[in-house]
Amino acid sequence: MNTTELSAGANTPERILDIAEGLVQRRGYNGFSYADIAREMSIAKASLHYHYAGKAELGEALIERYTVRFGEALEAIDASLEEAGAKLAAYADLYSDVLRGDRMCLCGMLAAEYETLPDPMSDSVRRFFDLNVAWLARVLADGASAGTLSLEASPVEAAQGLLGALQGAMLVARPYRDPQVFQAVAAQALGGIAVAST
Amino acid sequence: MNTTELSAGANTPERILDIAEGLVQRRGYNGFSYADIAREMSIAKASLHYHYAGKAELGEALIERYTVRFGEALEAIDASLEEAGAKLAAYADLYSDVLRGDRMCLCGMLAAEYETLPDPMSDSVRRFFDLNVAWLARVLADGASAGTLSLEASPVEAAQGLLGALQGAMLVARPYRDPQVFQAVAAQALGGIAVAST
DNA sequence: GTCTATAGGCAGATAGAC
DNA sequence: GTCTATCTGCCTATAGAC
C-alpha cells in the first residue's frame, strides 16, 4: 500500500499522521506516545494537541486516512486489471509494500490491540476489515463465475480466509525480519484458490 | 490450547501467570499492568515483585510456560494420531481453544508488539514460532511422502503459511467476536493442503 | 510472603504567553 | 501555531515493617 512518506513539504497535520502511522505500525497504539512524535518532528509535545485534541482523535484520523487510501488503491486495481487472479495478486502486493521497515498493516496491528482501543477506533478498524472482505468477496465471486478461480467455501468465507492469511503473514514475518516469509505465506494463500492462470 | 485456569488451589506464582496470561492474550504486553493482576487477585501490587522481579521477568516466565505446554500438546498429538491431515486438524484445534474469551495466541499477540519487547522476550517469541514451524514442517513432509497431502512449496514454507494463516485467523476474528470466522479461515488454510481424507 | 508507603519517571492533557 | 510550564494520574519498582 502506498503509505510512503512523500511528505517532505506536507503541512503539519499530515506530517503528524505520517509519523504516527509508522509508529503504530511498528510499535502499536499502546506502544507510542506524543513524545515520540514530537521528538521526530522537533516540535513541542503540547503543539500536537492543537492539531489533534487527544490520542484517541489522532488514532481515529489515522484509521480514516488509511482506509480512504486503501479504498482508492482497490479502485485502482479494479480500473487497471480484468482477471480475478491478477487482482488478488495486486491486492497481496498492497501488503507487501507495507512490510518495508518492519511494519504491519495499520489495522492488523490495531486488531491485536482491539480490546484496549477507544470505541470510535475499534469501530473504524472493523469497518476497514468489512471494506476488505466486501471487495475480496466480490472479486472472488467474479473469478468463480468466470471459471478462473475455484472456491471451496462461500465468497465471504474465502475472503475472510484470504484476509486472515495475509494479515497473519505480516504477523509471523515480524520476528524473522525477512520479507521472504511474507512472500511465501502470501503465495500459498493465493495458490490455494487459483485454478488457471490462463 | 489447554491454558484453562484450573488453578483453583494453585500456588501464587502460578495464579499470577494464569491471570497475566489472559491479560496479555486479550490486551497485549503493553496493555496491562501489575495493578490489573493485583486487583484480580486481591493482593497488593508490591507483592507481585516478590514472585517476579519485574514485568520483563514475568513476561519471560509467561512465554516459557506457554511454550512448554504447547510442546507437550504437540507431543500428545504425535502420540495419539497417525495420519498427517488429522494431526493438522488437531493442531488447528489447539488454537480454536484459545479463542474463547476473545483471546489470541499469546505469542501471536507478542509478535505484533515484537519491536517493543525486552530482548529476552522477543527471542523467546521467535523460539516459539521456530518450534511450531519445525513441528508443522515435519508433519507436512511425512504427509507428502505418505501421499495424503500435496505440497506446492517446501515443507518449511508450507509450515510458515499454515502458521501465518492460523495466527491471522485469530487476529481478524477479534473485531467480529465470532469464533465462526476463525473456523472458516482455519478450514480454508487446511483445505488448501489436504488431498485425500482416505 | 504480604503489607503500606513512597520514590521517580513518563503518560496524556491544559493554561496562557508569544 | 508553537512555545514553556505545569497538573494529575498511572506506571514500574524499592524500602522496610509485620
The pLDDT assigned to A161 comes to: 94
CA-based nearest distance A107→chain B, Å: 10
Q: Is residue A198 pLDDT above 70, yes or no?
A: no
Residue A104 in contact with partner chain B when CB distance is under 8 A: yes
| Residue A156 within a domain | yes
The pLDDT assigned to B36 comes to: 98
Q: What's the pLDDT tens digit per position in A79-103? A: 999 999 999 999 999 998 888 889 9
Confidence of residue B8 (pLDDT cuts 50, 70, 90): low
Q: Rounded distance, CA A152 to CA A158, Å?
A: 8
| Residue B166 within a domain | yes
Q: Is residue B167 pLDDT above 70, yes or no?
A: yes
pTM above 0.75, yes or no: yes
pLDDT, averaged across chain B: 92
CATH for A67:
1.10.357.10
The pLDDT assigned to A187 comes to: 87
Q: Is residue A116 pLDDT above 80, yes or no?
A: yes
Q: A35 vs B186, which has greater pLDDT?
A: A35
Is residue B88 within 8 A of residue B162, CB to CB? The reply is: yes
**Closest by alpha carbon to B181, among B95, B110, B109?**
B95
Q: Give the ranges where chain B is alpha helix by DSSP (H).
A: 12-27, 34-41, 45-51, 55-80, 84-98, 106-112, 119-146, 155-173, 179-191
The cell numbers describing A125, all together, are 478498524
- Is A116 in Cβ contact with B157 (below 8 Å)? no
| Amino acid in the structure at residue A182 | F
Q: Rounded distance, CA B33 to CA B25, Å?
A: 13
CA-based nearest distance B134→chain A, Å: 14
**Closest by alpha carbon to A93, among A69, A63, A65, A73?**
A73
| Residue B181 within a domain | yes
B74: buried, middle or exposed (CB in 10 Å: 19+, 13-18, 0-12)? buried
Distance, Å, B33 CA → D15 C1': 21
| Residue A26 within a domain | no
Confidence of residue B139 (pLDDT cuts 50, 70, 90): very high
CA-based nearest distance B19→chain A, Å: 16
- Total domains in the fold of chain A: 1
| Residue B142 within a domain | yes
Closest CB from A115, A167, A184 relative to B160: A184
What number is the average pLDDT over the span A111-116? 98
| Residue A153 within a domain | yes
Q: Domain range for residue B78?
A: 59-191
- B-facing residues of A in 31-50 (CB < 8 A) are 31
Q: Rounded distance, CA B71 to CA B64, Å?
A: 11
Distance, Å, A33 CA → C10 C1': 10
- B-facing residues of A in 132-161 (CB < 8 A) are 152-153, 157-158, 160-161
Q: Is residue A196 pLDDT above 60, yes or no?
A: no
Q: Rounded distance, CA A160 to CA B185, Å?
A: 6
A39 touches strand D (CB under 7 A): no
Is residue B98 within 8 A of residue B171, CB to CB? The reply is: no
Confidence of residue A8 (pLDDT cuts 50, 70, 90): low
The cell numbers describing A160, all together, are 475472510
For residue B124, the chain A residue with the least C-alpha distance is A175
10 Å Cβ neighbour count for A55? 17
The cell numbers describing B35, all together, are 495493578
| Residue B18 within a domain | no
Classify A151 as helix, strand or coil. coil
Q: Is residue B90 pLDDT above 70, yes or no?
A: yes
| Amino acid in the structure at residue A153 | A
Q: Rounded distance, CA A69 to CA B182, Å?
A: 27
| Residue A196 within a domain | no
**Cell 522476550 found at:** B121
Kindly compute the dihedral angle of the four CA atoms of residues A138, A142, A145, A146, in this order, to the nearest 10 degrees: -170
Is residue A99 within 8 A of residue A107, CB to CB? The reply is: no
